[in-house]
Amino acid sequence: MQRILVVEDDPAMREHLLQLLSEVQDVEVDAAADETGARVLMGNNNYDLAVLDIELGQTALSRYAGMKLAKEEAAAVALFVSGTNDSTLRDLASLLWGYDFVRKPIDDIDFIVKVKRSLEFSHLARNKAPLSKSDLPSGLERNPKNQTKFLWHGKDVQLSVTELGIVDQLARSFGIVVPYSTLESALPTGRGANALSSHIRNIRQAFRDKDPNFSEIATEPGRGYIWKPRA
């Protein structure tokens, strides 16, 4: 049984999210209307997924309160629900890992798909045997305190849930081309080559933020992508 925390200050939206989550099997769901209530629940439970509104209330202190909860690891994975545009959210999430976004007004199917994918990732991160440091590309390792995170030369790399899945596949196939179709399986339903290319760009940039010389993830035209040894 997995556990979800919902933090949403709008009563109607909170009720709608809870109704949608009632369709997800084998989960227990707790809900809070504000940061204070969320912290009480966080103190008493461990969550696999936190569904967080970015802004909790109308005051300056509540602005981006959901992001603050995520930074303090309210759950293994954070799913943000917000009317803020994607590029702004990515900037706000620049210090996070294991996250995804759902924009308001929400698409119910998109929300459920992302919830299920986030729960799958959380489960795999907790239960899949981590690769040993010797099995990973040089410079890449799992954070010993949290196996869902990747470190690059000792520095946390901030990646979304989808991007973490792509990096995991590339790392497990170090030195071998991973076909486009295999990597696209990590994407939401209906996404394809263009979306994969966008995620690869984001991944490369996230690593370059920690290492300007990063060039290990290479494109094999017509085939896929490969994590190559550093020359």
Q: What is the pLDDT of residue 156?
A: 86
> What does the pLDDT look like over 82-115, one tens digit per residue?
776 656 565 665 556 667 888 888 989 889 988 9
Give the Å distances, CA to CA, from 70 to 5, 25, 77, 128. 11, 24, 8, 23
Assign residue 172 a region: left if phi > 0, alpha if psi is -120 to 50, beta otherwise? alpha
Number of domains in the chain: 2
Last residue of a domain, one of 76, 97, 126: 126
Position 57 confidence tier, pLDDT thresholds 50, 70, 90: low
Do residues 122 and 168 share a domain? no
Residue pair 183/224 in contact by the 8 Å Cβ criterion: yes
Question: In what helix (H) or strand (E) does residue 184 lie, and over which residues does it extend?
Answer: helix 180-184
Do residues 41 and 93 share a domain? yes
Last residue of a domain, one of 126, 161, 193: 126
Q: What is the mean pLDDT of residues 37-45?
A: 92
Residue ranges making up the domain that contains 61: 2-126
Do residues 72 and 175 share a domain? no
> What does the pLDDT look like over 133-170, one tens digit per residue?
667 899 998 877 666 678 999 998 888 878 888 998 89
> What does the pLDDT look like over 7-35, one tens digit per residue?
998 999 999 999 999 999 999 999 999 88
Is the pTM higher than 0.75? The answer reads: no
Cis peptide before 221 (omega within 30 of 0): no
Do residues 138 and 122 share a domain? no
Q: What is the pLDDT of residue 72?
A: 74
Do residues 89 and 144 share a domain? no
Do residues 101 and 150 share a domain? no
Do residues 16 and 80 share a domain? yes
